Amino acid sequence: MPLRFPAAAKLAACASALIVAGAAHASAAPKFKTMHSFCRLSNGCKDGGNPAGPLVEDGKGVFYGTTYEGGKNGGGVVFALTPKGNTYAYSILYNFCSKSRCSDGTTPNGALILDTSGNLYGLVSSGGKYNDGLAFELKNTGSRWTFVPIHEFCPQSSTCPDGQFPAGGLTYQGAQSGTAYDGSAPLYGVASSGGTADEGTLFELTVVKGKA
């Protein structure tokens, strides 16, 4: 049955609206903005190099992350990107391998965990007291950041039952749903080697007053 004019006109109007909407959407090209370019300093990548893992954001719009290499000692850094108008100010919160024989760890990797008090938690895959990696906390006192190792991997060097060379960052129950980390619930992660068969471990880590 042929369409009557009012119905045909309505269809034509709808089609025109869709075409206009599609054209407007097509013209809205994504905008790309570089927040920081690593290793742009001429004195040996003091700002870090090879960022590792996704960023974590606090309630003020500050982003935190790590680099696998670079920094003052070449062992990687924890950094912050603080919004300043239309740009971001880059700052280093901690340089790894600051201590003798990199006893504070080197080569951080994976995402950081931010707790409700503003402290950060993460993993380094090498260095530490036994040179097999460690889990750490960066305590935020408001005026400075203090590095605290919360677990040293492979204290029994012959077998490493707790694992060695942790990788991939930490997580906690509720992270996927967006629940904030309270700073005391267990943290979970993986170590890529060690364990009973020397093929790695899954671990649970409970933080108690800066110790594990």
No. of H helices and E strands in the chain?
1, 11
212 pLDDT tier (thresholds 50, 70, 90): very low
pLDDT at 198: 92
Q: At a CB cut-off of 8 Å and minimum separation 6, what does 155 contact? A: 129, 130, 162
Nearest CA to 149 among 108, 195, 201? 108
pLDDT digits (tens, 9 = 90+) for 116-149: 999 999 999 999 999 999 999 999 998 899 999 9
pLDDT digits (tens, 9 = 90+) for 164-189: 999 999 999 999 999 999 999 999 99
Cβ pair 46, 95 in contact under 8 A: no
50 pLDDT tier (thresholds 50, 70, 90): very high
pLDDT digits (tens, 9 = 90+) for 75-92: 999 999 999 999 999 999
